[in-house]
Amino acid sequence: MNKLNVRERIDVLLDKNTFVEVDKYVKHHCTNFGMENKRIAGDGVVCGYGKIDGRLVFVYGFDFAVLGGSLSSANAQKIVKVQEMALKVGAPIIGLNDSGGARIQEGIESLTGFAHIFRRNVMSSGVIPQISAIMGPCAGGSCYSPALTDFILMVQDESQMFITGPNVVKQVTNEECDKESLGGASVHGSISGVANFVCQNDEECLMTIRELLGFLPSNNMEDAPIKPATDELTRICHELDNVVPADPNQSYDIRNIIEPICDQQYFFEIQPSWAKNIVIGFGRMAGRTVGFVANQPQEKSGALDIDASEKAARFIRFCDCFNIPIVAIEDVTGFLPGIQQEHNGIIRHGAKLVYAFAEATVPKVTLITRKAYGGAYIAMNSKQLGADVNLAYPTAEIAVMGAKGAVSILYRKETPEQQAERVKEYEEKFANPTMAAEHGFIDDIIEPADTRHALIQALEMCRNKNQSNPPKKHGNIPL
């Protein structure tokens, strides 16, 4: 295990010799339980600003070696100061969390410190990117500040997040667990969906933050950095010709469509281990950042469920906050059926995805590769939901449901032989994008090899899009 101390972490994270520390002489003022004899300069949190790839960022990091990295009121004041500085100048803020939670000796003072931090998290939301790295324990109130930020990274075998620890869980529910099984990186990366990235060590975590920021603008009034486009804009992607199988019931990896169309064929995936039936992440097209949202036929036949809807909706809203165009790649059989899904609120959670796409005013382009059925077709950025350009492969099937399901309802009294003929008839009519194109719901039917060029053309056309939603304090998204 190669666990770095807080200053080593900041050195790895920032460009060399750019870190400027703030409030390094601050000490706590607590005199309870002998704390007057444990006053250390900085009080266990290092705060300041520096640069990543030449761009200004703010950072604060907990030092677990000082009183377990616990949060004091003095620490909270330091963190709030850099939060306010970051918001004032419009620069990202990064928190390096390695803390046991509120400092017990201070009682209510340390708890109110959390409240001040949370409020700044909320005020900064959608204005500047906020990134949290969990690089050790993160317990109790410490969890909620990261949860309010845009992206959370965790380190395998080093970091844990939980509101109440294993001992309390045992006392209250009589469940046996340890820190790792309760809130380790694997749990939050694949089961809860709390973590966006799970890294193998501190260095990988910090380098991932640097790479992530390369796709993002510094604030909501700017665009993401543009990288010189060395990849041919009109590049023909012949490898896409055979990605979508001829058999409509055969699966394929949607990343085999996303990766070839990105500049240098590089796709930066987010939350790869949670809600695998939807794929989200950043790529570049013509040197500009694009957010991808794509159904994954390899998982649950690409159907949307509760977790996939939430995963996609949050990512879409982030992209919309920070002026990042969205490309939706669609191959969806519908919303996942089942008693558990219905009882857990698929209607409410699925509505989040509809809301997010409909609310977003950034350029929105949709490509239908194969199936686009029912309400899921609408939810995945349909023309009627506000998409700017909708494209389809010749293999696209746009319908209320699949042929067999439709025939079983429409012609339930007919013989199996008659129903087989009806299935063929239904497929001829709906197992193609022609009808949707005739109604103007699909703007063009393209060959797979032309995907990159067609999407770049659509995004360039939409670049100066100027759209705003009706004036309001804020919408009421179904949470």
The catalytic site residues sit at 140-141, 375-376
Closest CA to 403 of 376, 431, 378, 377: 431
Q: How far apart are CA 326 and CA 189, in angstroms?
A: 24
Pairing of strands 55-62, 45-52: antiparallel
Q: How far apart are CA 103 and CA 259, in angstroms?
A: 47
Q: How far apart are CA 280 and CA 271, in angstroms?
A: 7
Closest CA to 155 of 214, 81, 206: 206
Closest CA to 346 of 303, 316, 381, 382: 303
- What lies within 8 Å, CB to CB, of 220 at 6+ separation is 126, 127, 128, 321, 322, 323
Q: What angle, rounded to 10 degrees, do the helices at 202-214 and 6-13 form?
A: 40
Supply the DSSP symbol for 265: G
Residue with tokens 């960022």: 57
Buried b (16+ CB within 10 A) or exposed e, 447-473: ebbbbbbbbbbbbeebeeeeeeeeeee
Cβ contact 111:141 at 8 Å: yes
Q: How far apart are CA 322 and CA 311, in angstroms?
A: 17
Pairing of strands 45-52, 20-22: antiparallel
Pairing of strands 151-155, 197-199: parallel
Q: How far apart are CA 383 and CA 389, in angstroms?
A: 7
Backbone φ/ψ region at 9: left (φ over 0), alpha (ψ -120 to 50), beta: alpha
Q: How far apart are CA 145 and CA 149, in angstroms?
A: 7
Residue 228 parent element (H or E): none
Report which residue type is found at 12. Answer: V
Residue 382 tokens, joined: 């349909």
Compute the chain's Rg from CA coordinates.
25
Residue 213 tokens, joined: 């920021």
Cβ contact 2:202 at 8 Å: yes
Residue with tokens 């349909």: 382
Residue 346 tokens, joined: 């698929």
